Amino acid sequence: MRCLLLTVLLLGSLPALALDRFQVEGYALPNGMQLLLKPGNDRGHVAIRLVVGVGLDDFSCADKELPHLLEHLLFSGVDETGEGGLEERMQALGGEWNAFTNNADTTFVIEAPASNQRKILDLLLALLTRTRIDEKALDAAKRVVEREDGGHYTHLQRWLDRQDLSHKASNQLAVELGLRCAERAEVEPLTLRKIEQVRKAWYAPNNMTLIVVGDLDRLLPAYLERTFGSLKPVEPSNHEPLAQIRYSAVTKRNLIRGMVGNSAKLHWLFPEPVLDEQHDETFDLLKDYLDWALYRQLRLAHGLSYGPWTEREVFGGVGFFSLNADLAREDLPEAEQALEALRGSLLKDGLDPDTFMRIKRAAIAHQTWAVQGNSALADYYWSALGDYEDGRFANPAVRLQAVSLDQANLALRELLKDPGYLRIEKPLLSDDELVWGMSGLLGLLLLGLVVWRVRRRA
User: Given the complex with Zn ion, which of 74 and 123 has the nearer CB atom?
Assistant: 74
- What's phi and psi for 316, nearest 5 deg? 55, -125
CB of 99 to Zn ion, least distance (A): 8
CB of 115 to Zn ion, least distance (A): 30
User: Given the complex with Zn ion, which of 79 and 148 has the nearer CB atom?
Assistant: 148
Any residues with CB less than 8 A from the CB of 21 and at least 6 apart, and which?
38, 371, 377, 380, 393
| Cβ pair 107, 52 in contact under 8 A | yes
CB of 55 to Zn ion, least distance (A): 13
# of chain residues touching Zn ion (CB under 5 A): 1
**Which stretch, 52-60, 140-148, 247-255, 436-444, contacts Zn ion (CB under 5 A)?**
140-148
Please give the Cα distance from 45 to 38 (Å, whole number): 12
Contacting Zn ion within 32-61 (CB under 5 A):
none
CB of 58 to Zn ion, least distance (A): 17
User: Given the complex with Zn ion, which of 148 and 432 has the nearer CB atom?
Assistant: 148
Please give the Cα distance from 202 to 233 (Å, whole number): 10
User: Given the complex with Zn ion, which of 134 and 148 has the nearer CB atom?
Assistant: 148
Measured from the Cβ of residue 11, the count of other Cβ atoms closer than 10 Å reads 9
CB of 357 to Zn ion, least distance (A): 43
CB of 71 to Zn ion, least distance (A): 6
CB of 188 to Zn ion, least distance (A): 16
Please give the Cα distance from 96 to 119 (Å, whole number): 13
Please give the Cα distance from 110 to 95 (Å, whole number): 7
The residue nearest Zn ion at its CB is 148
User: Given the complex with Zn ion, which of 100 and 306 has the nearer CB atom?
Assistant: 100
* Buried b / exposed e along 242-265 (16+ C-beta atoms within 10 A): ebebeeebeeebebebeeeebebb
User: Given the complex with Zn ion, which of 46 and 73 has the nearer CB atom?
Assistant: 73
Binding mask 98-137 for Zn ion (x = CB under 5 A): ----------------------------------------
Contacting Zn ion within 141-160 (CB under 5 A):
148
| Cβ pair 248, 52 in contact under 8 A | no
User: Given the complex with Zn ion, which of 148 and 277 has the nearer CB atom?
Assistant: 148
DSSP H helical segments within 189-269, as ranges?
192-202, 220-226
| Cβ pair 50, 36 in contact under 8 A | no
Which residues form the interface with Zn ion (CB under 5 A)?
Answer: 148
